[in-house]
Amino acid sequence: MITNQLSSASPNYGPHDLQSSEMLALSHYNSSAPLLLPHVANDSGGRVEVRAPVEGLSHHENLTFEEPTAGGAFIVILSMTLGIISNIVALIILVNAYSLQRRRSKATFLLFATSLVITDSIGHVIPGALVLRLYLSGAARPQYVNSSDGMCQFLGGSMVFFGLCPLFMGCAMAAERCLGVTKPLLHSSLVTKRRAKICLSVIWLAALSLALLPCFQLGSYTYQEPGTWCFIKVLSDTKEVDVAFVVLFSGLGLTSLAVALVCNTISGLTLVFARLRRQPGSHHSAKSHDIEMVVQLVGIMVTSCICWSPLLIFGLMSVIHSYTRTIGHSLSYYETLMVMGVRLATWNQILDPWVYILLRRTVLRKIYLIAKCQAGLRGTILGRWEPSSFPSSEKNDVDQV
């Protein structure tokens, strides 16, 4: 209809006149409204067609954010409070155990564990405070879609840094324990406190370097639905560098989880086989501190897999869908996946401290006694796992002397 009206309104205009009219019409539009600018073209018959970029406009409208509610701010405050209390309790337990520990292998493990809890604490407070500020200020406005400011850059970098650090540390701790259980002599000659501190420094530096890549135009951070958090651009207008950034982030995270799974499986099977081969009345071949540390590492690994795997996988799914523009689920579907993934990821820093609080030697001994009484395991093969499997490490040192 637009074509017919324009044709009937200017029946005596030639192609040259139409081109001049087109240029004059275009001059009335400024560059600040590119999405609303119609495209005017004339065909060989002297008719003018006006086509509006509906696809881009509709895509832009799909990215508008919902207004955050007061309940969301309350959940953020509750989560921060619970995370701070949990990490403080776990930190007190670990620092006390580290100060009393004389066994070098156990001290190295406690050094890693203490560093992990401290990193989790900081990573829970800083991003949580920024998210709370966004909630209280009403979240990012729709005009900030596909854009970023200083606070968004810092929040996105914090998400990447404090997300990778626990995964890298869990992987390093699992590898250290696997070496200590399978090759104790090699472990004693290679692993020292100094080298453990160097390893921690390398982990922090590697995570920081990856988080700072957008500062060198290698990827970008943008506001995410519902405008209260920032992360790597994965939902719209993604480029090759964004895809590479997400692949690097998710790939390193998933690889760390896979390596930790392999190392913890080897350590656990080694301890189980050593316990099953032990004859009644013989000296314990599997040390109590090894059992305790492997159990805690398994707890950390399971927690990290449950909390971080969804965000790592959903990020890959979203960026691949956005970059390839494949026909499938709607944009809101991937927005929902990303929100679900980040909410699960925040629980990792809350649950990690409880691994050290609940899976201690004294707690494990009580759990074993309760399970043994309830299941009637006396006299069975499981009876080889005596409560003495969890004595204090200091007592074992005195007995060996």
Q: pLDDT for 328-372, tens place per residue? A: 677 788 888 898 999 899 898 889 888 888 887 777 778 778 887
Asked if 149 and 137 count as a contact pair (C-beta separation under 8 A), the reply is: no
Enter the pTM of the model. Answer: 0.72
Query: What is the separation of C-alpha 288 from the centre of its chain, rounded to a whole number of angstroms?
Result: 32
Nearest to 253 by CA among 177, 175, 165: 165
Question: Domain 69-376 adopts which CATH fold?
Answer: Rhopdopsin 7-helix transmembrane proteins (1.20.1070)
Report, in angstroms and rounded to the nearest whole number, the Rg of the chain calculated over CA atoms.
29
Reference 23, options 55, 48, 52, 2; nearest CA is 48
34 vs 30, 39, 52, 54, 61, CA distance in Å? Answer: 8, 11, 11, 12, 14
**Alpha-carbon gap, residue 156 to 260, rounded angstroms:** 26
* pLDDT of 8 higher than 80: no
Which residue type is seen at 181? Answer: V
Give pLDDT, residue 139: 62
For residue 59, pLDDT over 80 is answered with: no
pLDDT tens-digit map of 76-88: 888 888 889 988 9
Residue type, 347: W
Sign (positive or negative) of CA dihedral 20, 22, 26, 28: positive
Torsion 191-194-200-202 (CA) sign: negative
Which residues in 241-266 are b (16+ Cβ under 10 Å) and which e?
bbbebbeebbebbbebbebbbebbeb
Confidence at 280, pLDDT banded by 50, 70, 90: low
Cis amide leading into 226 (omega within 30): yes
pLDDT, one tens digit per residue, over 314-333 is 999 999 988 887 766 777 88
pLDDT band, very low/low/confident/very high, at 7 (cuts 50, 70, 90): very low
Backbone angles phi and psi of 42, in degrees to 5 = -115, 140
Residue 215 exposed, middle or buried by CB count within 10 Å (0-12, 13-18, 19+): exposed
Q: What percent of the chain has pLDDT over 70?
A: 68
